[in-house]
Amino acid sequence: MENGKPLKGHVALITGASRGIGLAIAEQLAGMGARLSLCARGAADLDRAAAALRHAGAEVFAAAADMTRAADIARFAEETQRNAGPVDILVNNAGVGRFGAFHELTEEDWDAVLDTNLKGVFLLSRAIAPSMIERKTGHIINIASLAGKNAFVGGSIYCASKWGLLGLTNCMAEDLRGYGIRVTAICPGSVATEFSPPSKKNPEKMLQPGDVAHAVAAIVTQAPQSFISEVLIRPTQKP
C-alpha cells in the first residue's frame, strides 16, 4: 500500500463510466490509487469525465464503446490491456432501461435492454477473464438491481435482464473462484441519476451514486480468504 492508496498499481475497468454510478465508481477507485480504463457510448460525455478525472490526478485510458456490439467489446478489452495493463477490477456497470407494460413493448426494446444489461456483461467478462485466470487474481463486480429480485409494474424487460444478471453472476463466481477470482453482484434500489424512470420519489431520500461506489470500495479491499457474493443497498428512509 503506497501513501494510503490500497489500489496503487491496480487497473480498474468500468463500463458506463461517463456519468452517474459509473463515474462515481471511477472517482472512488481513482482516489484509492487505481489506474482507470473507462468506456461509455457517448464520446463527448466520456471525454469530459476522463478530463476531470485526469485533472484530479488519476491515470485514465478512455474509449467510446457500445456494450451491445461484440466488436466494440473485443476492441475495448484489447485496447485496455495494451494501454492500461492487465485488468484487476472489472465493473460491469453499463445499463439501460425500457419501461412499460410488457404487451406494449417491442422486440427492439427487448434486444436493447438484454444486449446491454446481460449479453454485454457476458462478452466483456469473457474477454477479461483469461488474463485474470492466468494471474490467479481479480474482481468482477456486476451492477445489478433490486429489480432482479422484485417485480414492479412496467418493469418486465428490465427485471428480466437483472434477474438474468444475478444468475450469470452466481455462475461466474462458481466458475472462477478456484482461480482466486471473486465475482460479486451489487443490487441497489432506485438511485438518483438520470437513468431512474420518472417517479414521485424524493431524490434527496433516494440512494446516491456514491453509495454504490462505497460498496465497490468495500468489495475490492476485503480480506483475500473470502468474497462477498452479493450486496443489497437500500436507502435509510423510503423515498
Single out the residue of 46, 52, 5, 55 nearest to residue 29, CA to CA.
5
Of these residues, 61, 76, 158, 163, which one is catalytic?
158
Q: Over range 137-143, report the average pLDDT.
A: 98
- For 107, residues 6+ apart whose C-beta sits below 8 A from its C-beta are none
Chain segment 81-111, per-residue pLDDT in tens: 999 999 999 999 999 999 999 999 999 999 9
Ranges of each domain in the chain: 11-233
Determine the Cα–Cα distance for residues 144 and 185; give it in Å rounded to an integer: 6
CB 15 within 8 A of CB 39: yes
What's the mean pLDDT when you consider all of the chain?
Answer: 95
Q: Check if 179 is active-site.
A: no
Overall average pLDDT of the 121-145 stretch: 98
Q: Which is it for strands 35-39 and 230-233: parallel, antiparallel or unpaired? A: unpaired
Q: Does the domain spanning 11-233 belong to CATH 3.20.20.210?
A: no
Residue 1 binned pLDDT confidence (cut-offs 50, 70, 90): very low
pLDDT digits (tens, 9 = 90+) for 4-21: 899 999 999 999 999 999
pLDDT of residue 197: 56
Query: Is the per-residue pLDDT at 53 higher than 50?
Result: yes
Strands, E, within the chain: which ranges? 11-15, 35-39, 60-62, 89-92, 138-143, 181-188, 230-233
Residue 194 confidence (pLDDT): 75
* Cα distance between residue 165 and residue 168, in whole Å: 5
Q: What is the pLDDT of residues 144-163, one digit of tens each?
A: 999 999 999 999 999 999 99
Residue 178 CA: distances (Å) to CA of 142, 182, 225: 19, 9, 12
Q: How confident is the model at residue 202 (pLDDT cuts 50, 70, 90)?
A: confident
Q: How many helices (H) and strands (E) does the chain have?
A: 7, 7
Q: pLDDT tens, 203-225?
A: 888 999 999 999 999 999 999 89
The percent of residues in the chain predicted with pLDDT above 70, rounded, is: 96
Given CA atoms 12, 5, 136, 226 in this order, what sign does their dihedral have? negative
The grid cell for 165 is: 444478471
